[in-house]
Amino acid sequence: MSRSIKLRKGLDIQLLGVAEKTITPLESQQYAIKPTDFPGVYPKLLVKAGERVMAGTPLFFDKYRESIRVTSPVSGVVTEIVRGAKRVIQEIRIEADSVQQYVEFKRMEPEYYDREVIVALMLESGLWPALLQRPYAIVADYDKIPKAIVISGFDSAPLAPDYDILVHGHGPEFQMGLNVIGKLTPGTVHLNLRHGTPASKVFTNSKNVQINYFEGPHPAGTPGIQIHHLDPVNKNEVVWYLSPCAVLRIGRLFMSGHYDDSRLVALTGSEVLRTGYYKVTGGLRVDRLLANNLREGAARVISGNVLTGTKISSDGYLGFYDNQLTVIPEGNHSEFLGWIKPGLAKYSSTHAFLSRLLAKKNYRLDTNMHGGRRSFVVTGEMEKVFPMDILPLYLIKSVLVKDIDQMENLGIYEVGPEDFALCEFTNTSKEELQKIIREGLDFLRKEMN
């Protein structure tokens, strides 16, 4: 039964640099997989520098859940394993062949196969990590059975790509992907669309799913919020979620037998000269997208959106889960008596700046913190942008003191770091809330298992 849910809390941050609706194919020879992209996965390498791989060859697996493996998006040669502090693997770099070769997986009509066979194929092909789960906001546990699976059919984050463009013309793969996902849960597969705007036929015509409508500002389009309102996660329950782009990739695997990570990525942000959508393969080095395409001055390149994305360098690599690349100015400048200025050009969710009166749209925001870190003083500001029946400040404090009972009581199983992104943005005390929640979830997972 379709549901329609209206959210009042949240915040739409209007930024400059929405992607133009043009699609440009782009190829590169340089790719990398970043193990740090995969939450809850502890990588153990399967390849060495110099080895040949094909698209679909496993690169590493998870030390604690050994069937979870991540495979190469392209065929070519592993050129380098980049390690960071404490020898943590940062990047597995691959130089791609000019003609792509694919590992041949079994083609399947999901209707005729058991759940175990389907799970095994997804694990083997390296598409499994596209499935995420609550609790813990990590790559899904393959030996658990989720009570529901949630797919958000729109992205409400600042400058987010239009999912309609991402799936346009891919109806068969999308439906195939949904059929596969339907086999993974005895419960409902939810496909959530934005209320009031016409969605792509690919979404509205899809079958074997329950289509729901969400209304309201960001984070209405994030799966964590949608799960909370559709089928909240209680203790010992599991819900999985994935993006429509992942659904496409799964559909493609089952239709063609290939691990084909081609996807559209939206190039956005105020510092980009020519925004737009680019047809690329996952793990692409972004320098070709950005070359001669940025404004003067220091810039921050983000794989993902400005609230939850990952900072990368201008020759860094696109993240596994990302369909968006954002470039904004760095904010490493000081400002004389900045705290008392009327603030005509500043953006704030509060009413303490005159810019509020201008009804200005589309800001060029930089990465400045706009202040120093303080204790939590201001109360009630998180609640304004946190559309869950959870007390965010109390949950964060219980995480900070590592009180497991209280964390459970206050709803830790329902949240992921990204749910706190807006709280972090508006936070007057400039705390790093997403980091706090991530550490809390990791701590809890370790204690519970």
Partner 1 sequence: MKPVKKLFDSVRPHFEKGGKLSRFYYTFEAFESFAFVPPRVTQTGSHIRDAIDMKRTMIFVVIALLPAALFGMWNIGYQHFLALGQESTLVANFWYGFLKWLPLQVVVFAVGMTIEFIFADIRKHEVAEGFIVSAFLIPLILPPDIPLWMVALATAFAVLIGKEAFGGSGMNIFNPALLARVFLFFAYPAHISGDKVWISGLPDAMSGATPLGLAAAGDISLMPSAIDRFLGFIPGSIGETSTLAILLGAAFLLITGIASYRIMFSVFAGGFLMALVFNLWGANAYMQIPPWEQLIMGGFAFGAVFMATDPVSAAQTNTGKWIYGLLIGMFAVLIRVFNPAYPEGIMMAILLMNVFAPLIDHYVVQANIKRRLKRASVTAK
Q: Please, which of residues 270-309 interact with partner 1 by CB under 8 A?
A: 300, 302, 306-309
Stretch that binds partner 1, among 2-10, 18-26, 167-175, 337-345 (CB under 8 A): 337-345
Q: For residue 83, what are the β-bridge partners?
A: 89
User: How far apart are the C-alpha atoms of 441 and 134, rounded to whole Å?
Assistant: 10
User: How far apart are the C-alpha atoms of 269 and 278, rounded to whole Å?
Assistant: 15
Q: Is the peptide bond before 135 cis (omega within 30 degrees of 0)?
A: yes
User: How far apart are the C-alpha atoms of 249 and 224, rounded to whole Å?
Assistant: 22
Q: Tell whether residue 85 is a contact of partner 1 (CB under 8 A).
A: no
Of the two residues 55 and 395, which places its CB atom closer to partner 1 in the complex? 395
Of the two residues 376 and 443, which places its CB atom closer to partner 1 in the complex? 376
For residue 72, give Cα distances in angstroms to 170, 219, 222, 261.
23, 32, 27, 9
For residues 351-370, which are near partner 1 according to CB under 8 A? 351-353, 365-370
DSSP-assigned letter for residue 286: T
Query: How many residues form the binding site for partner 1 (CB under 8 A)?
Result: 73
For residues 157-176, which are near partner 1 according to CB under 8 A? none
Q: Tell whether residue 333 is a contact of partner 1 (CB under 8 A).
A: yes
User: How far apart are the C-alpha atoms of 416 and 241, rounded to whole Å?
Assistant: 12
DSSP secondary structure, 138-184, as one string = EEPPTTS--SEEEEES---STT---HHHHHTT-HHHHHHHHHHHHTT
For residue 179, give Cα distances in angstroms to 102, 248, 258.
23, 11, 17
What is the β-pairing status of strands 89-96 and 76-83?
A: antiparallel
Q: Tell whether residue 313 is a contact of partner 1 (CB under 8 A).
A: no
For residues 408-447, which are near partner 1 according to CB under 8 A? 409-411, 417, 421-422, 424-430, 432-435
User: How far apart are the C-alpha atoms of 202 and 190, rounded to whole Å?
Assistant: 15
Of the candidates 42, 102, 394, 443, which one interacts with partner 1 according to CB under 8 A? 394
- Widest CA span of the chain, in angstroms? 68
Q: Tell whether residue 78 is a contact of partner 1 (CB under 8 A).
A: no
For residues 120-159, which are near partner 1 according to CB under 8 A? none
Least CB distance to partner 1 at residue 294 (A): 16
Of the two residues 313 and 348, which places its CB atom closer to partner 1 in the complex? 348
Q: For residue 317, what are the β-bridge partners?
A: 285
Of the two residues 171 and 331, which places its CB atom closer to partner 1 in the complex? 331
User: How far apart are the C-alpha atoms of 53 and 75, rounded to whole Å?
Assistant: 5
Of the candidates 2, 22, 313, 348, which one interacts with partner 1 according to CB under 8 A? 348
Of the candidates 339, 359, 361, 446, which one interacts with partner 1 according to CB under 8 A? 339
Of the two residues 99 and 369, which places its CB atom closer to partner 1 in the complex? 369
Of the two residues 177 and 329, which places its CB atom closer to partner 1 in the complex? 329
Of the candidates 162, 391, 442, 443, which one interacts with partner 1 according to CB under 8 A? 391
User: How far apart are the C-alpha atoms of 147 and 128, rounded to whole Å?
Assistant: 18
Stretch that binds partner 1, among 32-40, 92-100, 287-295, 339-347 (CB under 8 A): 339-347
Stretch that binds partner 1, among 40-48, 90-98, 276-284, 345-353 (CB under 8 A): 345-353
Q: Tell whether residue 336 is a contact of partner 1 (CB under 8 A).
A: yes
Q: Is 175 left (phi over 0), alpha (psi -120 to 50) or beta?
A: alpha
50 alpha carbon, distance to own chain's centre = 31
Of the two residues 112 and 339, which places its CB atom closer to partner 1 in the complex? 339
Of the two residues 102 and 376, which places its CB atom closer to partner 1 in the complex? 376
Q: Tell whether residue 39 is a contact of partner 1 (CB under 8 A).
A: no
Least CB distance to partner 1 at residue 51 (A): 33
DSSP-assigned letter for residue 283: T
Of the two residues 118 and 265, which places its CB atom closer to partner 1 in the complex? 265
For residues 211-250, which are near partner 1 according to CB under 8 A? 232, 234-235, 237
Helices 171-182, 244-256: crossing angle, 10 deg rounding: 90
Q: Tell whether residue 340 is a contact of partner 1 (CB under 8 A).
A: yes
Least CB distance to partner 1 at residue 296 (A): 18
DSSP secondary structure, 101-144, as one string = -B--PPP--GGGS-HHHHHHHHHHHT-GGG-EEETTTEEPPTTS
Least CB distance to partner 1 at residue 155 (A): 16
Amino acid residing at 344: L
Of the two residues 256 and 368, which places its CB atom closer to partner 1 in the complex? 368
Q: Tell whether residue 372 is a contact of partner 1 (CB under 8 A).
A: yes
Q: Tell whether residue 328 is a contact of partner 1 (CB under 8 A).
A: yes
